[in-house]
Amino acid sequence: MKMSKMFFQTMREFPSDAEVMSHKLLGRAGYIKKLTSGVYNYMPLMWRVLKKIETIVREEMDRAGAQELLMPFVQPKELWEESGRWEVYGKELMRLKDRHNRDMCLGPTHEEIITALARDVIKSYKQMPVNLYQIQSKFRDEVRPRYGLLRGREFIMKDAYSFGKTQEELDKEYDNMAKAYKRIFDRCGLETKMVQSDSGAIGGSVSHEFMVITDGDAGENDVFYCECDYSANSNHAVSKLPPAETDGAKYFNETKIMDTPNTHSIEELSAFLNIPSSIILKSLVYIIDKKPVIALIRADKNVEETKLMNAVGGIDIRIASSAEIAELMAEKGFDAVPGFIGPKGMNGVQIIADETVRDMKNFVVGINQTDKHLVGANLSDLPAIENYVDIRLVDAGDFCPVCGKPLKVTKGIEVGNIFQLGTKYSKPMNAVYLDENGKTQPYIMGCYGIGISRTAAAAVEAHYDEHGIKWPIAIAPYHVVIVPVNVKDELQMKTAEDMYEKLLAAGVEVVIDDRDERAGVKFKDADLIGFPFRVTVGKTITDGLVEFKVRETEDVTTVTPEVAIEKLLTILK
Ligand code: ATP
Ligand code: MG
């Protein structure tokens, strides 16, 4: 490729809306051009990267025994009604109507379509196990599209779906996919951690995410992990707690209502009463699927919203606003402000108590009266709690649930996800086969996703410096750029062109920067774009020498053109 002909444009500035490095660099280096919020043009350079990732994914999926197909992007409502997701999938599902007023949606994922397809084809146990995948653009109308390709609205995904007869078959395929994923990300030059996770809107029980660990802002997930193998997304992580004071007997010798003026926060209340926050019971109001829910937890701990949402079986959660709390208070005949809310008297409101509440004694709790708390309270003073669930957000330093050592926390970018779906889709959609005894059975399914475009962006997050991108060789748009310093110098140009032809003939993906630009400009662009290798043909060519630069290490050597070619062919073999 001749740089003078390449359809690209590097920029002086980062895109104005870019907050994280991959968005900044991919924008500035001319890989992506925004069309509208969360929707990007993939420029030729970007497309080459994406195709390389796709090729690695295809090779490894095929090697793992999966078969590629391609399903439609536009999907009819009827199938989503069969699975029950038309109602429950939130606004991320882009719904539209066709000219006949029929409801359709843009595919955010394809469980419904593949299950319907399998139902038509897989009639007998003899046709399973089978794993089918596709690579395609998806659309999710994300609340906050941001970070460029990391969280787009239109993005490229590989999604695979397995069908089998038994849980054992699913376990085996799940493991097979986990191994394929590891190979895929390794080949892309990405170190990933496989962590336990919540199953989210797709549903099912067992699921794992593949996280690229990053210390940048781009990691939207907190990952808790331990020296032993345990690691989990914060939405799923559990821990053992260090011992804490949970009996307030030494502070309160009777149960009574006490004035606690202006204690709106836990800090203020514990300071006012001069007690540790672990003997305060915190009552929080959430809105889950539009209904208020009160969450109770020991006040030195925080609620993990996904866990709470799952405990209620909801799909949408947020903390209640002051206005909503005021409305709830009025409805129940109270007028307390936030900070003084409690479970008592909240008839008809669902109450979820965390495991930490179980052991609390002689504690402090709100009673829906402003500037007052009940102290020396016990569980018998509260409405009966039917069962305790873990809705607690793990803290770094809590103990590992497996080995008991302290947990650590880090940020991660989710590049892939594997789920055991079981019969979550096959049962409601009546997707069945005849088993060996001629009995109908629902398929046991799994699904496996990889964000192709997100993986490319995550690779940038993991590989850059102040000058630009440092692509891992396997997914770089080109392997090497040859830079003649002065295109008007005949010897320089001839040597550069000669090397270019030789490398092309040897199958190396090479670019020649034949633009009549200052050397500095070309070097800057080469670093920004992130070619893994640069060969500079400058004045030293009169001594028969060129400069060979490795982008990853910034290592520069002066060698003959032949040696430069040799080196490249050896490295790229
Ligand atoms: P997230 O939690 O980040 O919203 P998700 O868990 O909803 O993602 P999945 O349904 O598991 O996503 O989709 C499979 C893969 O698709 C993800 O692991 C991720 O790599 C990619 N992906 C999901 N949403 C986006 C997006 N908005 N932009 C780019 N890639 C995405
Ligand atoms: Mg996911």
pLDDT for res 316: 84
Per-residue pLDDT band for 315 (boundaries 50, 70, 90) equals confident
Sign of CA dihedral 506, 511, 515, 520: negative
pLDDT beyond 80 at 364: yes
Residue 261: which CATH number?
3.90.960.10
pLDDT for res 89: 87
Is the same domain home to 359 and 271?
A: yes
The verdict on residue 267 lying in a domain is yes
State mean pLDDT over 11-31. Answer: 96
Ligand 1 in reach of 155 Cβ (< 6 A): yes
18-40 burial: b if 16+ Cβ within 10 Å, else e: bebbbbbbbbbbbbbebeeebeb
Q: What percent of the chain has pLDDT over 70?
A: 99
State mean pLDDT over 29-33. Answer: 97
Q: Which residues contact 297 (CB under 8 A, 6 or more apart)?
A: 281, 282, 284, 303, 353, 354, 356, 357, 391, 392
Encode pLDDT of 118-143 as tens digits.
999 999 999 999 999 999 999 999 99
Tokens 């359709």 locate to 104
> Of all protein residues, whose CA lies closest to atom 24 belonging to ligand 1?
151
pLDDT for res 513: 98
- Mean of the per-residue pLDDT values of the chain: 96
Per-residue pLDDT band for 494 (boundaries 50, 70, 90) equals very high
State mean pLDDT over 221-240. Answer: 94
State mean pLDDT over 99-118. Answer: 98
The verdict on residue 428 lying in a domain is yes
Ligand 1 in reach of 142 Cβ (< 6 A): yes
If DSSP states are collapsed to H, E and C, what string results for 496-543? HHHHHHHHHHCCCCEEECCCCCCHHHHHHHHHHHCCCEEEEECHHHHH
User: How far, in Å, is the centroid of ligand 1 from the Cα of 385?
Assistant: 36
pLDDT for res 314: 87
Query: Domain end: 371, 389, 407, which one?
Result: 389
Give the position, in ligand 1's atom list, of the atom nearest the Cα of 157: 16
> Of all protein residues, whose CA lies closest to atom 16 belonging to ligand 1?
451
Ligand 1 pocket: which of 42, 157, 413 to mutate (most atoms within 8 A of CB): 157
pLDDT beyond 80 at 30: yes
Ligand 1 in reach of 471 Cβ (< 6 A): no
pLDDT beyond 70 at 203: no
The verdict on residue 419 lying in a domain is yes
How many other CB atoms are there within 10 angstroms of residue 96's CB atom? 10
pLDDT beyond 80 at 204: no
Give the position, in ligand 1's atom list, of the atom nearest the Cα of 210: 18
Count of domains in the chain?
3
Task: Give the span between the Cα atoms of 466 and 363, in whole angstroms.
Answer: 54
pLDDT beyond 60 at 202: no
pLDDT beyond 80 at 28: yes
Is the same domain home to 179 and 136?
A: yes
DSSP letter assigned to residue 171: H
Q: Domain range spanning residue 450?
A: 43-209+415-461
Task: Give the span between the Cα atoms of 208 and 111, in whole angstroms.
Answer: 18
pLDDT for res 95: 98
Is the same domain home to 527 and 439?
A: no
Phi, psi dihedral angles at 220 (to 5 degrees): -90, -5
User: How far, in Å, is the centroid of ligand 1 from the Cα of 208?
Assistant: 13
Give the position, in ligand 1's atom list, of the atom nearest the Cα of 145: 27
> Of all protein residues, whose CA lies closest to atom 26 belonging to ligand 1?
151
Give the position, in ligand 1's atom list, of the atom nearest the Cα of 449: 14
Residue 80: which CATH number?
3.30.930.10
Is the same domain home to 151 and 111?
A: yes
Task: Give the span between the Cα atoms of 379 and 167, in whole angstroms.
Answer: 41
Residue 522: which CATH number?
3.40.50.800
The verdict on residue 407 lying in a domain is no
Ligand 1 in reach of 454 Cβ (< 6 A): yes
Task: Give the span between the Cα atoms of 267 and 2, in whole angstroms.
Answer: 64
pLDDT beyond 90 at 215: no
Encode pLDDT of 49-93 as tens digits.
999 999 999 999 999 999 999 999 999 999 999 999 998 888 999
> Of all protein residues, whose CA lies closest to atom 4 belonging to ligand 1?
151
**Better-predicted residue by pLDDT, 216 or 333:** 333
Ligand 1 in reach of 531 Cβ (< 6 A): no
> Of all protein residues, whose CA lies closest to atom 1 belonging to ligand 1?
414
pLDDT beyond 60 at 12: yes
Is the same domain home to 160 and 200?
A: yes
DSSP letter assigned to residue 42: E
Q: Which residues contact 520 (CB under 8 A, 6 or more apart)?
A: none
Give the position, in ligand 1's atom list, of the atom nearest the Cα of 108: 10
pLDDT beyond 90 at 209: yes
